[in-house]
Chains A and B, each alone.
Chain A
Amino acid sequence: DAGVIQSPRHEVTEMGQEVTLRCKPISGHNSLFWYRQTMMRGLELLIYFNNNVPIDDSGMPEDRFSAKMPNASFSTLKIQPSEPRDSAVYFCASSLSPGTGAYNEQFFGPGTRLTVL
């Protein structure tokens, strides 16, 4: 298995531009998570999906951020317009939904390092 795939690995853009980050979860996994990591705030959960449906988006910082999961094998995180404070590493992770009394660990992608100038 190729693991969780994220693209691009690095993105440099100018303030005000639209940025789209992409994620392909592990085949068969039905939960998908978007995280943001910065030195100041550590690792933050932005949003997660279960069976392609957004379950909890309370971590999405503001309306400039949006996430979609049109099918089980693809998700996007979009920032429009981007700002310098959005500079961070964005991780996607996937897992199998747990059964009762169980929990399946999350598998993380390599991340996208976003720099907004």
Chain B
Amino acid sequence: AQSVAQPEDQVNVAEGNPLTVKCTYSVSGNPYLFWYVQYPNRGLQFLLKYITGDNLVKGSYGFEAEFNKSQTSFHLKKPSALVSDSALYFCAVRDPLTGGGNKLTFGTGTQLKVEL
């Protein structure tokens, strides 16, 4: 079975500082990995994905994520945080070996708070 863990319920960072939101996964094959962001009272928005290829993936709003197979991690990063980045961030995984079509498994979410 596929699973994903986000070990931090909340991450606080000062504006202008780098941010990292952590994600680890468990799958039986090579994973497809995703990050989504949710602003208050909104649906989830896609940020970026890793399917194959370069381990460093760049996405929307200056975010990037690094796939690390040995550590089974896919941490979300941004070099300089903005107050407007404050939101709920979800990591998700799809195990292509499960034959589950388009089904994703989401983590529990990490609340990012960027302060002035």
Contact = CB atoms under 8 A, between A and B. Distances in A.
Interface of A: 4, 31, 33, 42-43, 45, 48, 50, 55-56, 91, 93, 95, 97-98, 101-111
Given A4-B43, A111-B43, A105 B101 contact: no
Nearest to B48: A105
B42 A110 contact: yes
Given A42-B109, A110-B41, 14 more contacts: A42-B107, A45-B105, A45-B106, A91-B43, A103-B51, A103-B102, A105-B49, A106-B44, A106-B46, A107-B46, A108-B36, A110-B42, A111-B41, A111-B42
Interface residues of B, number: 24
Contacts of A106: 44, 46, 102, 104
Contact of A110 (B43, B100, B109): B43
Interface string B47-89: 0010110000000000000000000000000000000000000
